[in-house]
Structure 1
Amino acid sequence: MRAVFGLVLVAGLALAGFAVYMAKNYISGYQNELAAANAAKAQIIQTVEVIVAKRPLRYGEVLKTEDVRWAKWPEDSLPEGVFKAVDDLFPDPKNPDMRRIVLRAMEPNEAVMAIKVTEPGEDAGLTSRLKKGMRAFTIKVDVATGVSGFLRPGDVVDVYWTGEIGTGTRNDRREVTKLIQPNIQLIAVDQTANGDDAEATIARTVTVTANSQQVAALAQAQASGRLSLALVGAEDDTVAQSVEVDMRSLLGIKEAEQIKEEQVAQSEKVCTIRNRRGSEVVQIPIPCTN
């Protein structure tokens, strides 16, 4: 009997130890899963629903409710001007006078922003692209002065003027080319304000945005000479300095008066050499050889 009792006791202790071992493993696994779930929850990015394009939208299209949809967007990286409510984008969808028109091309799933569409009821013409205090001015161009057709609305150009300056006498007049307006933005090429067209076209006119003073300068320059455009690089943030070139400076030809002044200055120039005599330094005039 004692042997049987001992065997039963040993078996009971073994079973109890096994049960404790299994329970410990289960609790440890549960704790690990709980910790992993908490870590994953901490990495979840907070999102907010915004309105995005459902299909490709091009410049000049009327934006309709069926052209957009909702999409989740990371809350900490929302672009400026996104729409979070339908009423903000479409104040009155049934009223044609309150429609919005696409100003910039949008691809599917791209957020609709205020800068890419007109205000409700606003026309998509040039007036919507003019900032406060700015005016639209048209410049005549050709294949040479218009950068061979590579200009697009939204590009930035430098404007150069070529014409004659000087007094009324014929001998005193000279033709010069001068930079008159740096960093002027184009808002239309011919009758097109769509900057998404990648095809090069030879334009006859370009329209720029400028303030009143710049408009007056461009009008006077266009009436008194020829205007040429130089395309500025997309990432070029340098400020162009004053530039003026005429035929004489281009070829390195000096004016007669300038030559005479240099000759007079040369004749008046005194050259010397220094000689040391003991502790005294003596300067002796000599003919200038150069």
Structure 2
Amino acid sequence: MNTNALTRAYLVLGGLGAVSLIAYGIYKSSVPVGTVSAPAPVVQSAPVDMKVVGVMTAARFIARGQVVTREDVSTTMIAGPMPQGGRTAIGDVVGKVATADILPQQLLLDSTISADPAKAGLAALVPAGYRAISILTNDEIAVSQFVRPGDKVDVQLVLPDAVLAKQSGAERPETDVSEARTVLQDVLVLTVGATLGDPSLVQTASEQAAGVAGRRSEPARTISLAMTPDQIAKFALARSLGSFYLSLRGSDDLQMIDDNTAKLSDIRGPASPAAAPATPQQRPIELIVGDRTQLIYPKTSGERR
């Protein structure tokens, strides 16, 4: 084969290749993009025992001692086992009190909320602007054991005669000037007993412990009251001067009474008039004249001579 024949053969082959490339390009441009098959993604099936539950979480910051409302609660879906102490119903958390600060999206657990406000600590129970003060009482002072947290009481003070006579600085009167007066009204009871919470449950627990130990338990005697700083100063002075008593108010009694000081004379009544001094009895004089005897009585100062 000569050179001219080889050249013609190469030209024919090159032309056929170029035509093939052009035809393939026209074919690819005419095929829709969606018809090009893509590799199918690998889907891993979830475990059969995996469950998704909705748990109650904080929708916003909840401070310790705050009562949980519906606006404070949101539902968060989680996969897996239920957290210990978690709640799935909004009714299980609304109305309870936060026993610790709760951040947004934090789970509302039994360890962070409680139906007992005392679980948040005494400081969380004290209203704004008030202070807590604890006093030692007995059954007579504190209406037996019927005072409960949330009740309202009045404080009565009994001032003995010696204190009032010393306070006046004047000459001591002949009569007893002891008096009693109401010094504080509508005072909130925060706690009863040394332990926060329901005093009846605390007492039951102490009785059970005493039964195991074989000894009789003593009832709780400490009561915590909420007072303003001015009320605390007045009460601190009053308790140092005399004895005090607590009177329990009714749940709907909002009446504030005026000064109701009672003096000892109010109990004894008006003093009876002094009796006139008795006239001393004069002894008679025996006059003997001969065989005659006569008794002569001397005249008193009021008789006519």
TM-score of the aligned structures, taking structure 1 as reference length: 0.48
Q: Which has the higher strand share?
A: 1
TM-score of the aligned structures, taking structure 2 as reference length: 0.46
Q: Which has the higher helix share?
A: 1
Bigger CA radius of gyration: 2
